[in-house]
Amino acid sequence: MDQPIRMKNNGQINIVLNSQKRETIRSNKEIEVVPKPISAEHEILMEIENELNSLVGMEDIKKMVKEVYAWIYINKKRESAGLKTGKQALHMMFKGNPGTGKTTVARLIGKLFHKMNVLSKGHLIEAERADLVGEYIGHTAQKTRDLIKKAIGGILFIDEAYSLGRGGEKDFGKEAIDTLVKHMEDKQHEFILILAGYSDEMDYFLSLNPGLHSRFPIVFNFPDYSVDELMEIGRRMLQEKEYILSHDAERKLRDHLSYVKTTLNPISFSNGRYVRNIIEKSVRTQAMRLLMANHYDRHDLMTLRSNDLIFTD
């Protein structure tokens, strides 16, 4: 169906795309194409976008999820039209430091793919090296197969996946990698494998097996949060718990986050997780302060003061 248009007599044609950008063509009139509203058919995308938008930052991640949705959706349209469709391998790699939202996004992708009928269940199975690597020959392959079996219909999310490549040829981690690679091909439409970890370590891990890189066509890069974003994460956590920071406490927290962002190794700084730990400890400290003071009015019960914030790097 043609999109609705508006005519303007100023000697130009302006086509307005969904991105709100205009492509100008010389003519006798201006035609402005009005973007069509998202149909009910895309309510799945709207629901996931709303959940993503509730997360702080991660603008590139949000855009990438929408691109993956469009890729799957258009391929289905091409298939129904009798056109060729590319082989859709949806295994992914998540690169980033701890506490940058990788597991949260993996769960949302599982939910999206379930609603799009890409995955039959959409559940998330989290694993690390100890869950895959066994103690003797053959044990690792069996443990890995068992995990894949649990992940059928959903996502197998392996954090710190680069640890499987450590230890050399005699390490059982290589057996886990070989088993994963085989099942990625044999059962590629039955589950999705997401490998996650620090960016540099994941790049090195891929270099250990030249054929591994091509099996992960979708790569998400999770940047560290800025100080402003970390403060916003903290505010949302506090709001959910019905707490507020005093002005002094807010200033103290911001100064501390600025300090650790510039002095700590990014690998040892856990981003959102770090903020959550501060808040949880501060809530306990505030509770002890109020108990000792025997003072419980509503404002004090809600307010975290600067001396409630105790930082341990």
Phi, psi (rounded to 5 degrees) for 26: -70, 135
* Whether residue 141 sits in one domain with residue 166: yes
Q: Which two tokens stand for residue 166?
A: 């450590």
Residue 69 makes CB contacts below 8 A (sequence gap 6+) with 44, 45, 48, 112, 116
**Whole-model pTM?**
0.77
Last residue of a domain, one of 189, 222, 255: 222
Residues 157 and 264 in one domain: no
Q: What is the pLDDT of residue 27?
A: 44
Residue 28 has pLDDT above 60, yes or no: no
pLDDT band at 6 (very low <50, low <70, confident <90, very high): very low
Cβ atoms of 140 and 132 closer than 8 Å: yes
- The domain that contains 292 carries what CATH number? 1.10.8.60
Alpha carbon distance 258, 230 (integer Å): 10
Q: Is residue 16 part of a domain?
A: yes
More confident residue, 140 or 248: 248
Q: What is the pLDDT of residue 242?
A: 97
More confident residue, 35 or 219: 219
User: Are 13 and 29 spatial neighbours (Cβ–Cβ below 8 Å)?
Assistant: yes
Euclidean distance between CA atoms 308 and 313, whole angstroms: 16
pLDDT at 185 over 80: yes
Domain hosting residue 293, numbered range? 227-308
Q: What's the mean per-residue pLDDT of the chain?
A: 83
Same domain, 185 and 61: yes
H-type helices in the chain, by residue range? 43-53, 59-80, 102-115, 129-132, 139-151, 173-186, 199-207, 227-241, 247-263, 271-293, 298-302
Residues 262 and 134 in one domain: no
Residue 91 vs residues 50, 62, 83, 158, 236: alpha-carbon distances, Å: 24, 18, 24, 12, 32
Domain termination site, one of 179, 204, 222: 222
Q: Are 55 and 107 spatial neighbours (Cβ–Cβ below 8 Å)?
A: no
Q: What is the pLDDT of residue 7?
A: 41
pLDDT digits (tens, 9 = 90+) for 107-135: 999 999 999 999 999 999 999 998 998 88
pLDDT for position 208 = 74
pLDDT at residue 217 tops 90: no
**Residue with tokens 């997360």, as numbered in its chain:** 55
CATH number at residue 59: 3.40.50.300
For a pLDDT cut of 90, what percent of the chain falls above it?
Answer: 49
Most confident of 38-42, 202-206, 299-303: 299-303
Nearest Cα residue to 204 out of 158, 162, 161, 159: 162
At what angle are helices 102-115 and 43-53 packed, to 10 degrees? Answer: 170
Question: Is the pLDDT confidence value at 41 over 80?
Answer: no
pLDDT band at 313 (very low <50, low <70, confident <90, very high): low
Q: Which residue has the higher pLDDT, 207 or 202?
A: 202
CA distances from 36 to 31, 72, 107, 277 (A): 15, 20, 30, 45
208 in a domain, yes or no? yes
Same domain, 197 and 117: yes
Q: Residue 94: beta bridge partners? A: 196, 220
For residue range 59-68, what is the model confidence (pLDDT) as tens digits? 999 999 999 9
pLDDT tens, position by position, 129-181: 989 988 877 788 999 999 999 999 999 999 988 888 776 666 788 888 888 98
In this predicted model, which residue has the larger pLDDT, 256 or 214?
Answer: 256
59: left (phi over 0), alpha (psi -120 to 50) or beta: alpha
Residue 205: CB atoms within 10 A of its CB come to 23
Mean predicted confidence (pLDDT) in 287-303: 94
**Rounded Cα gap, residues 218 and 67, in angstroms:** 10
Residues 193, 47: one domain?
yes
Of 214, 222, 185, the closest CA to residue 65 belongs to: 222
The verdict on 210 and 110 lying in the same domain is yes
CA-to-CA dists, residue 269 to 98, 205, 212, 224, 281, angstroms: 7, 22, 29, 9, 17
- Adjacency order of strands within the sheet including 5-8: 5-8, 30-33, 12-16, 22-26
Same structural domain, 31 and 91: no
Q: What is the mean pLDDT of residues 218-239?
A: 94
Out of 17-21, 37-41, 134-138, 213-217, which region has the weakest mean confidence (pLDDT)?
A: 17-21
Same domain, 152 and 216: yes
Number of domains, the chain:
3
- Residue 158 domain flag: yes
**Which residues lie below 8 Å from residue 309, measured CB to CB, with a gap of 6+?**
249, 252, 253, 256, 278, 282, 285
Do residues 121 and 75 make contact, with C-beta atoms less than 8 angstroms apart? no
Do 210 and 160 reside in the same domain of the chain? Answer: yes
| Domain identity same for 178 and 72 | yes
Same domain as 46, residue 30:
no
